[in-house]
Amino acid sequence: MRETRGKEREDAYLGIDTSCYTTSVLFMDRQGRVLSEARRLLEVKPGRCGLQQSEMVYQHTRNLPDLMEQATAGHRFRLLGIGVSARPRPLADSYMPAFLAGQGLARSLAALYQVPLWEISHQENHLEAALWSAGGPGEDRFLFLHASGGTTDLLLAERVGDRCALTPVGGSLDLHAGQFVDRVGVALGLAFPAGPALERLAARHGEIPELPVAVRGLQASLSGPCTAALRALAQGMAPADLAAGVQRVLAETFTRLIRNGAAQYGVRQVLLAGGVSSNTWIREQVTEKLAKRHIHAWFAEGKYSSDNPAGCAAYAVRHGEGDV
C-alpha cells in the first residue's frame, strides 16, 4: 500500500486519451499546470505496421490501471473534473473502439466521484494540447494542421463560444504522414512507430534526395512519394539519405498545404500538432519557409505533439474554472 496519509490534498483535473498507439493519463491543477502524468506506447511486434482495434482495446484496458497508479503515486488528489478523448474527430459519425477504453474509465470515475465529465474528440485533444503548450495563436481564426499516423488534416479553426470549431478544408487523399514515415521506417528496419528513430537516422545523412512532392491546392498525396522512397531503398539508396528525403517530402508537403490554405482563407497563423510535427527538422523547415510568406507557425511543445491527454485536461480546467 502506498503511504499518502498526512499529505495535503491537491485539487486536480484528469485527462485521459486512449489512441491507436498510446495509453495516457495526466493530472493538471486549477491553473493549468501539470501535476503528474504517465503514458505507455502500445506493443507492436517487430516488422508490423500497426495493430487491430481489438488488440488496442486489450492493451489500453491492461495499461490504464498501471498508469493511474503511476500518476497518483505520492499524491492525494481531490478530483474536480475529467476530460477524455471519446472519438477520433469532432464528427457525429466518428467512431473507433480504442477510445472506448478511456471513455469507460472516465465515465466510471465521474459517476463515482460525482464530478463533471467533458468528452471531446482526439483531434480536439491535439488542438487543445497545442494551444495550451504553445501559447498561441491568439487570433480567433487560424489554420490547424494535424499530422499523425492516423490523420493528415488541414482544418480551419474558429473560436466559437467555449471551444474551437474545426472545419476540414484539405489534407492527404491517401496515406497519412505517419503512415508514410512508418512504412519507410519499418522497411529500413526501424521499430514501429518509426518517427523518432527515423529522425535520428536522418541526422546522419550525406545528401538529401529530392523525392516527389504531390500537392494540388489543399489536397496532397503521399502514396506516390512513399512508393518512390521504397523503390529508392530497393535500388540501394543510403538509409540516412532516404530518411532525410522522407523528412523533406513532409516539410514541403506541409508548407504547400498551409501556404495555399492561408491564401484561400485569408489567415496568417497556423498551429501544428500530431506526432509527425514533433520532428525538429520538419519544424525548422516549415517555420522558415512559411515566414517568407509572412505566415507564423505555432507548434505544440515536443512532448505534447505526439498522443497525450494534456488537451483533455486543459479543456476540463478551462471549463471547470469558468475561463470560457
Asked whether the beta carbons of 181 and 172 are under 8 A apart, the reply is no
- Residues 270-301: tens digit of each pLDDT: 999 999 999 999 999 999 999 999 999 999 99
Q: What's the mean pLDDT when you consider all of the chain?
A: 95
Give the CA distances from residue 104 to residues 24, 92, 125, 270, in Å, rounded to whole numbers and listed in that order.
Answer: 14, 19, 17, 34
Give the whole-angstrom CA distance, residue 129 versus residue 126.
Answer: 5
Q: Where are the domains of the chain?
A: 10-128+306-320, 136-304
- Residues 58-96: tens digit of each pLDDT: 999 999 999 999 999 999 999 999 999 999 999 989 999
Domain boundaries 10-128+306-320, corresponding CATH code = 3.30.420.40
Residue 47: pLDDT band by 50, 70, 90 thresholds? confident
Give the whole-angstrom CA distance, residue 231 versus residue 150.
Answer: 24
Is the pLDDT at 3 greater than 60? The verdict is: no
Residue 6: pLDDT band by 50, 70, 90 thresholds? low
pLDDT at 324: 47
How is 27-62 classified by DSSP, letter by letter?
EE-TTS-EEEEEEEEPP--TT-----HHHHHHHHHH
Q: Looking at domain 136-304, which of 3.40.47.10, 3.40.50.300, 3.30.420.40, 1.10.3720.10 is its CATH number? A: 3.30.420.40
The yes-or-no answer to whether 10-128+306-320 and 136-304 have a common fold is yes
- Residues 182-233: tens digit of each pLDDT: 999 999 999 999 999 999 999 999 999 999 999 999 999 999 999 999 999 9
Instruction: Give this prediction's pTM.
Output: 0.94
Strands (E), 161-285: 163-172, 214-216, 219-221, 269-273
